[in-house]
Amino acid sequence: MKRRKTAISVTLLIVLLLGAVASLPVLAQGPVEIDVYTVAWSAPHQAMMAQLIDQFNQEHEGQIKANYIQGDWGEGDTYIAAGVAGRGGIACVIEWWTGGAQAWYNQGFTIDMAAYMTQEDWATMPDFFWASRETPDGKVFSSGTVAYSPGLIYYNPALLEAAGIKAPTLADGPWTWDQFLDAARALTVDAKGNNLRDNPDAFDKKNVVQWGFLPRYDTEKVWEDTAGVAMQATGKPIIRQLEDGTWDAVFDEEALGPMETFLGMIRAGVSPDLAVGLTRETQDEAFVQGLAAMVPRGFFNVPVLRSVYPDFKFSVMLQPAPTGSKYYTDNSGQGFAVPVTCEHPAEAVKFAMWMQQAGPNALDASALDLVPVNPAAMDESVIADNPDWDPIRYYQSNLEIVTVPFNDHQGEFVEVLWVPTMLRYIQGEIDFQEAVSTIQKGAKDILNQ
């Protein structure tokens, strides 16, 4: 009887132990995996993103493993909306522009990253860059990678030299828009060698072999580039919140001339009809083939042109600006957002904040040729020793950052009102004042929905 009781006790003890073991948490096998959706579109930036993800994985071996997912600028909104609606199946970290990331947060698609951030993370980016990535109550909807900056004018030195035109150097400062347009006229040449500036009466506008300037008048650039021109002239965004709390599209007097000139290049005869709806690949090809002497592009096109057209010789000049003016840019740019479907938000935020550290940030910015959000990244050798960054250094020495609140209805305003109206001006259907008046009449209804 005594032996049987002992046997029962031993059996009970084994059962209890097995139950205790079963209730213990299961330890993760191997590192936590997160997918990183990047919208890197150029070959140099795609290669750098892959390199940076490999570097992150090496530094966090056994803890976190990031996987490269190639995304697309045209599909990001659909990608996250479908993923959230389907409750998963999308990346934990998504690269996007800050205004779009704010719209995602407002729709409930992304998390507040601040809950997973350290003081060291906050210190990697200045307050004015955080300002465009936070809600008024301190919720962080995006990290930072690069910031926008004034664009450049790319030019063909051989064509300018043949026309007897000396491009302005950094020491000279920028041309004004009137000086730029004068040069564009001289660089617009017909089959007989007449140019629009010096031989206007003999110039054959139906047989142009070289255009002075070739902008992209597509949905993206008609808004983005023109808004940049306006801000350069005034230091203020076009879309802004008024003192009474409502939103409007504001046309400051100082911005009207530069905007009219920039959008009026076809009307002035120095750009072809081809500029309407032009793609970046066609613009690059026309520039390389000598069809256009000057084109407007961001810094990011320097590595693109060098990788795709290694034998083509080009140079860059500063964006035209009023004499003696400062340069202005907004405080937005790009970064990473974390969707609410992410199962490992702490690890996702850790990756995003790692990308803000000086070393990774410098490598990322150098491949994209856009300003890094971490000021210390400018001192990293990959940037500090690169003469291609001299124009950016010029801008930064004469730059003022403008905080620009984002309106959730900006996309609709641009697509429904701004672009169709300005295209009518670009194509000669209405004058500039009518275009401005049309936008002023319709802006408030769209922006204050």
pLDDT tens-digit profile of 426-439? 999 999 999 999 99
Least confident piece of the model among 78-82, 408-412, 417-421: 408-412
User: Of 241, 370, 253, whose CA–CA distance to 300 is shortest?
Assistant: 370
Can you give the pTM of this predicted structure? 0.84
Q: Which two tokens stand for residue 263?
A: 């959008």
Whether the CA torsion 362, 367, 372, 373 is positive or negative: it is negative
Taking the C-alpha atoms of residue 159 and residue 315, their distance in angstroms, rounded to an integer, is 11
What is the average pLDDT score of the chain?
91
Task: Please give the pLDDT value at position 7.
Answer: 40
If you average pLDDT over residues 26-47, what whole number do you get? 86
Taking the C-alpha atoms of residue 65 and residue 232, their distance in angstroms, rounded to an integer, is 43
Task: Please give the pLDDT value at position 122.
Answer: 97
Concatenated DSSP letters of 249-286: E---HHHHHHHHHHHTTTTTTSS-GGGBT--HHHHHHH
- Walk me through the domains of the chain, giving residue ranges and CATH numbers: 32-148+332-402 (3.40.190.10), 149-215+277-314 (no CATH), 217-264+409-449 (no CATH)
Q: Which two tokens stand for residue 57?
A: 């994985």
Which bin fits 431, alpha (ψ -120 to 50), beta or left (φ > 0)?
A: beta
> Is the pLDDT score of 381 beyond 70?
yes
> Is the pLDDT score of 48 beyond 90?
yes
pLDDT tens-digit profile of 389-415? 999 999 888 888 888 888 989 999 999
Whether the CA torsion 320, 323, 326, 331 is positive or negative: it is negative
Task: Please give the pLDDT value at position 325.
Answer: 72
Query: Is residue 25 very low, low, confident or very high in pLDDT (cuts 50, 70, 90)?
Result: very low
Percent of the chain beyond pLDDT 90? 81
Taking the C-alpha atoms of residue 227 and residue 224, their distance in angstroms, rounded to an integer, is 5
- Cβ–Cβ < 8 Å for 216, 280: yes
> Is the pLDDT score of 28 beyond 70?
no
Task: Please give the pLDDT value at position 181.
Answer: 97
pLDDT tens-digit profile of 249-280? 999 999 999 999 999 999 999 999 999 999 99
If you average pLDDT over residues 183-187, what whole number do you get? 98
Indicate the pairing of strand 93-97 with strand 64-70: unpaired
> Is the pLDDT score of 20 beyond 60?
no
User: Of 280, 52, 241, 282, whose CA–CA distance to 146 is shortest?
Assistant: 52
Whether the CA torsion 175, 375, 369, 277 is positive or negative: it is negative
